[in-house]
Amino acid sequence: MPEISKMKKPDVKVVILGDMNVGKTSLLHRYTERKFRDTISTVGGAFYLKQWGPYNISIWDTAGREQFHGLGSMYCRGAAAVILTYDVTSWQSLAELEERFLSLTDTANHDCIYAIVGNKADLTDPRAQLPADPQSPAEGGEPGTGPRVPSACPTPPASPLSPGSPPQQVGREEAAALYGRVLRYKGLDEGSSLPADRMCFETSARTGYNVDLLFETLFDLVLPSILRKRTENQRSPTVDLEDYCEPPGRRRGCC
């Protein structure tokens, strides 16, 4: 039997998890195709190979439907980053992340990084309603209020944008709290991990708000993981003193 041709082997894997209908497919589609279009509920899973500089990053879009839940840990195996996605208009979708999806990440890399992403921000945040096309960055709100800066006053639930919007919106601080619990679950020290305000995003696949930022932040963060994987693959018994890397987080001080 002839060997099936191997595909371009990705250097690193990023997995998008989250309940059905939170917009995982739409996010990936917005990022890769720069469009928002109708989706059908994902069956099984799909992935996209992204060329990031000299690296190939595979981004897995998983199915949120309960039926496919069992496949999740397989997708997560060896993942360098996991995007835990909820729907900012659905409290339940945030709760599901902790109840159903967090345990799937047990198979991910030990140094896997986690991002908490509240999608459909266009439904709650006026800033997310502007088209965030990179060609016209001027439209994307004042640069001073960077999206990662935790807003001093959370989106007031009392002023919903449309009268019919669901009442149980999820605020940023709840996402940040979940992030803290994810770290605890992973047995990670909050002090030495990436801070919540860097790893919690509110996005809109519909307008593109923060979508590039999300993916590109993650790609930049997983680069060290790629480099390590590459050196592991060509591991030699000789210790390379030149290549020695200081473990992150511990900086050599003066005396």
Ligand X SMILES: Nc1nc2c(ncn2[C@@H]2O[C@H](COP(=O)(O)OP(=O)(O)OP(=O)(O)O)[C@@H](O)[C@H]2O)c(=O)[nH]1
Residues forming contacts to ligand X in the complex (CB under 6 A) are 18, 20-26, 39, 41-42, 63-65, 119-120, 122-123, 204-206
CB atoms within 10 A of CB 193: 18
Query: Per residue, what are the HEC states of 105-169?
Result: HHHCCCCCEEEEEEECHHHCCHHHHCCCCCCCHHHCCCCCCCCCCCCCCCCCCCCCCCCCCCCCC
Among 21, 55, 56, 71, binds other proteins (CB under 8 A): 71
Contact of residue 186 among ligand X, Mg ion, other proteins, none (CB under 5-8 Å per partner type)? none
CB nearer to ligand X: pick between 96 and 122? 122
DSSP summary character for residue 191: G
d(CA 18, CA 23): 9
Contact of residue 222 among Mg ion, other proteins, ligand X, none (CB under 5-8 Å per partner type)? none
Report the nearest approach of other proteins to the CB of residue 54 (Å).
20
Q: Find the part of the chain contacting other proteins (CB under 8 A) among 17-25, 59-67, 161-169, 194-202.
A: 59-67
**Contact between 67 and other proteins per CB under 8 A:** yes
Among 39, 73, 129, 151, binds other proteins (CB under 8 A): 73
**Contact between 20 and other proteins per CB under 8 A:** no
Report the nearest approach of ligand X to the CB of residue 126 (Å).
13
Maximum separation of any 2 CA atoms in the chain, in Å: 67
Q: Which positions from 162 through 181 interact with other proteins, judged by CB under 8 A? A: none
Q: Which of 218, 202, 235 is nearest to 57 (CA)?
A: 218
Render 27-82 in DSSP notation, one character per residue.
HHHHHHHS---------SEEEEEEEETTEEEEEEEEP-SGGGGGGHHHHHTT-SEE
User: Which amino acid belongs to residue 154?
Assistant: P
Residues contacting 189, CB < 8 A, separation 6+: 183
**CB-based contact 96:27 (threshold 8 Å):** no
**Contact between 49 and other proteins per CB under 8 A:** no
Among 31, 36, 75, 201, binds other proteins (CB under 8 A): 75
Report the nearest approach of other proteins to the CB of residue 37 (Å).
15
**Contact between 56 and other proteins per CB under 8 A:** no
Residues forming the site for other proteins (CB under 8 A) = 1-7, 9-10, 43-47, 63, 65, 67-68, 70-71, 73-75, 77-78, 107
